[in-house]
Structure 1
Amino acid sequence: MLKEHRRLVTLARRHLPPAVAERWIALMRPAVRLRTRQEGQKLVGQLGGLPALPDGLPWPEWEGEGSLGFVALIDCGRLPLDRLDIALPDSGTLLFFYFDPEDGYFDPEYPPRAVEGRNPETLAGARVIHIPAGVPTTERAAPADIDPYDHVPLTAELISTGPDWEHPALRAAVRALSDDDRAFMNGHGNSDPFRMALSKPPQLPQHRIGGYAYPVQGAVELDVAATQLGGGTPVDDTAWEKEARRWTLLAQIDTDDEAGMMWGDVGSLYWLIKPEDLAAGRFDAASFTWQCS
């Protein structure tokens, strides 16, 4: 049994009507939680520090704004891929970059733009790159306009994750339930005890690969769907939900004091991708959002 599975099942059955609880439990998915590596534990990647990049690959930047900060590196070949339900590459490394407006030097009279959730014009401020195994790489010094985050080695553990209360998969799963169950889902405040319990995980930070996100402000899939549909909150809820269900979490990088990472007010960064793009290795098709409290 994966870590967190028993706790999540208990919370669902304690706080939700039986039929709703079983629908929620049936949607649970495995994920890899990334945490600071201790001596003797398997190394799977790193937060911060400096990345090793192929010769000829420029350091990612947001044109007109500046260089992206190097956030994390994950060695796909060291993850328990056979236990996940997403088609990650079985080798090579994934590198995550993000434009942090609080990082490095900028002229106070001309502050940098921020990457904004639900704003497609700012997606250039986040990037994910896959470097295939065997490609020669060299550790690259950081550009002068950014200050690298502190290096934190990472290890991995398998955990169970469940959907956010607003997740479109959950909303779809309960549509065939009784009138009373649907009324519970739609009743203001009915979900508060369950959501409060979910918002207190036993361990922080919540870095993860795959599974469901640990959101700060609701289902991140809806944020990405809004971005893909042009920004803002779409008027057509059906189209919004349909688009949201096309996306799955690739990676979440949380605020982490050890790495010197603070995303807004104790927030998280989220990279999402469509399963078909992930299976085809089209990481340039990934999308991004972030949330803070």
Structure 2
Amino acid sequence: MATHESRLANLARRHLPPDVAERWTSLIRPGVRLRVRDGGRRVGYLGGVPFLPADVAWPEWEGEGSLNFVASIDCGRLPANSLDIALPDSGTLLFFYYDPESAYLDGTEYHPTVGSWEPASQAGARVLYVPPGVPTEERDTPLDIEPYDYAPLVATPIATGPDWYHPEFRARCRDLSEDDLDFLDDHGNGDDFARALSAVRSHPSHQLGGHAHPIQSAVELEAAQSVLGPGAEWESVAEEARRWTLLAQIDSDREAGMRWGDLGTLYWLIRPEDLAARDFGASAFTWQCT
């Protein structure tokens, strides 16, 4: 991870003014990259079917239908000391999402989309935590949805940097010079830097913890919007966004037959205090595509 961190810092120094680069590199955080691979130490899998306790029902969005099973992560098999978020050191995380493309199988013409822009739609995404020692059983996929293809995952520690509009990055730059602030206000500068970062990132970009890799703008802002509602003032959204951190992102992946819109990515975010309390029901969901 040290090599990757140095690479990110060098990119920042090459593309950003010195003081801006210093603020950006100060926010570099560790994360775990998840890759589909048959060999190596398996830490979980995409698609297939989940293992659930007998008394836990398959997640549904009431009035809409069953959620699709996206991924299972065995927390006890993740690389040690590879994250700066307080994931459980054992047990299993299960991620579900209402995929409207799959729901078309029932012949209905319209199905709603899950997203931060409609807070009520958060019921269409779910994170379940199964503590260690709890008996589980393989659960068949409900008939109203189609399972994704099974794909085993291995994990690699990585370093991650914040998005151009990440609320904490912007907050740390408030006292910079007028020239630096003008540089930050130019969206084109952010695009150039994002392209440079993307060139050193492997794809698909499945990840736990660290900074998210948004396709559009900072996903923390979207998590805040899902809590405060679409009519919230910008200052309130920006401040609330600083409370949220990435839990997991799952990219479109051909190996698992997953395609979110036009090669999009799913994001689950959580507040550190909720993560510490193991309150995964308090997580927020959003997705983005090109």
User: Does residue 249 of structure 2 align to residue 247 of structure 1?
Assistant: no
Paired letter, 2:287? W
Match of 1:238, SS state, is helix
Cα pair distance change 1:192/1:77, threshold 3 Å: same
Superposition map of 1:188-207 within 5 A: 188-207=187-206
2:46 & 2:106 partners in 1: Cα distance?
27
1:167-207 deviations in Å (ceiling 9; x for gaps): 01110111122222122112342333212212334410000
1:291 & 1:2 partners in 2: Cα distance?
29
Whether the 8 Å CA contact 1:222–1:241 is kept in 2: the answer is: yes
2:114 & 2:156 partners in 1: Cα distance?
30
Identity of aligned residues (%): 60
- Of Structure 1 and Structure 2, which has the larger fraction of its residues in helix? 2
Paired letter, 2:10? T
1:95-119 deviations in Å (ceiling 9; x for gaps): 0000001115544454222213321
Superposition map of 1:109-124 within 5 A: 109-124=108-123
Moved more, 221-230 or 187-196: 187-196
1:108 & 1:190 partners in 2: Cα distance?
45
1:86-140 deviations in Å (ceiling 9; x for gaps): 0101110000000001115544454222213321010010000000000000001
Paired letter, 1:19? D
Whether the 8 Å CA contact 2:32–2:82 is kept in 1: the answer is: no
Whether the 8 Å CA contact 2:103–2:111 is kept in 1: the answer is: no
1:193-239 deviations in Å (ceiling 9; x for gaps): 2122123344100000000111111100011111111126x3x2221
User: Does residue 32 of structure 2 align to residue 32 of structure 1?
Assistant: yes
2:172 & 2:105 partners in 1: Cα distance?
48
Match of 2:157, SS state, is strand
Q: Tell me what 1:286 maps to.
A: 283
Q: Tell me what 2:67 maps to.
A: 68
Q: Tell me what 1:271 maps to.
A: 268
2:3 & 2:284 partners in 1: Cα distance?
28
Q: Tell me what 2:213 maps to.
A: 214
Gaps of 5+ in 1: none
User: Does residue 19 of structure 2 align to residue 11 of structure 1?
Assistant: no
| 1:149 Cα deviation from its structure 2 partner | 0.4
Whether the 8 Å CA contact 1:35–1:155 is kept in 2: the answer is: yes
2:153 & 2:94 partners in 1: Cα distance?
14
Gaps of 5+ in 2: none
1:171 & 1:56 partners in 2: Cα distance?
45
Moved more, 4-13 or 89-98: 4-13
Paired letter, 1:22? E
Whether the 8 Å CA contact 1:3–1:159 is kept in 2: the answer is: no
Moved more, 10-19 or 174-183: 174-183
1:117 & 1:123 partners in 2: Cα distance?
7
1:217 & 1:270 partners in 2: Cα distance?
12
Whether the 8 Å CA contact 1:118–1:224 is kept in 2: the answer is: no
Paired letter, 1:269? L
